[in-house]
Amino acid sequence: MTKLSLPERAIFLEGVKYIIHGLVHGNPWIKINPSFKKIVADELKNENVLCEDGFVSWIPNSLSLGESEYFGFGKMPFFKRINFLSHFIYYYLFSNSNRWDPEIFERIREMGSLEDLIEVRNFLFEGYPNEPGGMNDLMKNKNSGTIDNPEGDVPLIIRRYIYEAKTSINYAKENDLKELHIVVGCAHELPLEYLLKSREVLEKYFL
């Protein structure tokens, strides 16, 4: 298979190679450069690809993980969605970074090459917590136990990580794949890598 230039994390699990690509997608405050979307599409055009809903329009040959439908995001009131997104951005771009760059949104808007993506990723990943510590912090804030010992109401973002990991594994099995590319937002990359490597943790969650 073709060697890709996109940043990636590869996990080998039961004969399948799962390749996670953490990218930056648009939101109400950021519009991604169309030329950058085309670069990503060209990189993945010959691959089996599952991705977050926000990336489906980028990659014509991809399939959606179906999170919007599964979690009912389309039925969520607009202001509740904005509130959720705002808290998510704050947690991953502000509270975990000691070197917040007020121009980061503009740097993301101007991405036009994989080199630009790598530069943005390097900045973002300096602020992301190691796993499972990051997920455990989120669960602690909601009095939900830990990722390997959940209690009560597990936060939505954690349920999304679990869903992405389980859906990817099931999709690869059902389609007898030896390699699967998973395209998610940068902040999902480390949690997803940890969960794919931790089957005993995944088995504690039923979706």
Q: What is the pLDDT of residues 174-199, one digit of tens each?
A: 999 999 999 999 999 999 999 999 99
What's the token pair of residue 49?
Answer: 């690809």
Could you tell me if residue 62 is left (phi over 0), alpha (psi between -120 and 50 degrees) or otherwise beta? beta
Least confident of 81-85, 109-113, 190-194, 200-204: 81-85
Q: What is the pLDDT of residues 95-112, one digit of tens each?
A: 444 445 668 888 999 999
Q: What is the mean pLDDT of residues 70-80?
A: 64
Question: Domain spans of the chain?
Answer: 9-202
> Could you tell me if 51 and 62 are in contact, meaning their C-beta atoms sit under 8 angstroms apart?
yes
Round to whole Å and give the CA distance between 177 and 175: 5
Judged against a pLDDT cut of 80, whether residue 43 lies above it is answered with: yes
* Whole-number percent of the chain with pLDDT over 70: 84
